Amino acid sequence: MTSNILAVNGCNIHDVIDSYQTDRRAVSDRMYSLLHCLVILLTGCSICIAGAYAWGLGEGVPQSAILTATAVGIEVALVFFAAVMYPKPVMAIFGLIAGVGVLLISILTITSFLLSQQHQQEHADIKNRETYRAELLANRARLDISNMKDRGTMAILSNRIEEADRALSGMKARVPETKSTAVYHYIAKSFGYPVEAVSLALRGFYGLIVVCTAVALAGYLETIYSPKSLGQWLRTYESQTKTINGAVERLSNIQIAQARRLEFPVAESDSIEAADRHRRTAGAGDVPDSLYSKVKTEVASLASGAAIPVHQVRAITKRQTLAYGCIDRLLNENLIKQEANGRYIRV
């Protein structure tokens, strides 16, 4: 931050910074970057999911491309609304849903993993029992039913095969087909709901949490700042303030010149203003203070009534526009005046 205080309408930059910091909460640069990465990640995932689904709905490449572009636009607009349009109560609701939902999603994810491990273990038991049943069938096939001794063994094997079938039937009824859907089947059986309804509810809840988290984070980014972001904002503010101050100064010079023309009207034959008649170059609006100080010191050393040729001022400024810019400021400060013939005189 520069040592000079930039001011607009009487407010200096320190007051603006205090207001900025009052409305926002300070965080570290690392946290600020992490939150931005999370927003980009969640938004990117939502865009990919929506785009993939929309592409599958299309019949042909053109229709799929249109649907995909529409879905991507909706997801991007959602984050934009979160940043600039949603009121604070709505953002508070999104934040509450995201905060509670992320906790529940974490619990559900861990639970799903543990159930998948249980599913894998139970499937291993089923596989062992199927192997045992296959061995019983193979042993029975090797016996001869016409042999009196083999008949008793065949009966025993048949009983064991029937027991194995009943056990396998009960185990398969309890264990889902795949471990990825194990959590849906266990919840459905525990609460007595159809598997389809449980799957729809959990997947919808998961999608809701992803969207709410992205929106809540995007809105939260508008309420915080980091040292790095504050520095970028200050540089932008200083540039804008400098432009505004220059415009205000030029407008003030124009108003002063107009007031001076009205205050000292010239003769009818001299309808063209003396300044415009003799000056062929416009003055620069922004003259460095150091350069103007040199010109002012040189002019102040002259006696009252002494003429001030423009070429002498230009010898100091090195540029015609800067020379007339300094002359304008000297006129505004009433250190010099311009006569009807265009000459500048020390007051």
At the topology level, CATH places domain 273-346 in Arc Repressor Mutant, subunit A (1.10.10)
The pair of structure tokens assigned to 278 is 């003799």
DSSP secondary structure letters along 211-230: HHHHHHHHHHHTTEE-HHHH
Q: What's the whole-number mean pLDDT along residues 177-200?
A: 80
Radius of gyration from C-alpha coordinates of the chain: 42
- Checking if the pLDDT of 233 tops 80, the result is no
Amino acid at 188: A
Identify each DSSP E strand in the chain by its residue range: 7-8, 11-12, 25-26, 224-225, 336-338, 344-346
Tens digits of per-residue pLDDT, 313-334? 888 888 888 888 888 888 888 8
> What is the C-alpha to C-alpha distance for residues 11 and 24, in angstroms, rounded to an integer?
19
Contacts of 57 (CB under 8 A, 6+ apart): 64, 67
- Categorize the per-residue pLDDT at 336 as very low, low, confident or very high, splitting at 50, 70 and 90: very high
- Checking if the pLDDT of 2 tops 70, the result is no
Biggest distance spanned by C-alpha atoms of the chain:
147
Whether the CB-CB separation of 323 and 288 falls below 8 Å is answered with no
CA dist list (Å): 30 to 33, 35, 39, 213: 5, 9, 14, 19
- Checking if the pLDDT of 5 tops 50, the result is no
Q: Where in the chain is the domain with CATH 1.10.10?
A: 273-346
The pair of structure tokens assigned to 321 is 């526009």
Tens digits of per-residue pLDDT, 288-305? 888 888 889 888 888 888
More confident residue, 295 or 233: 295
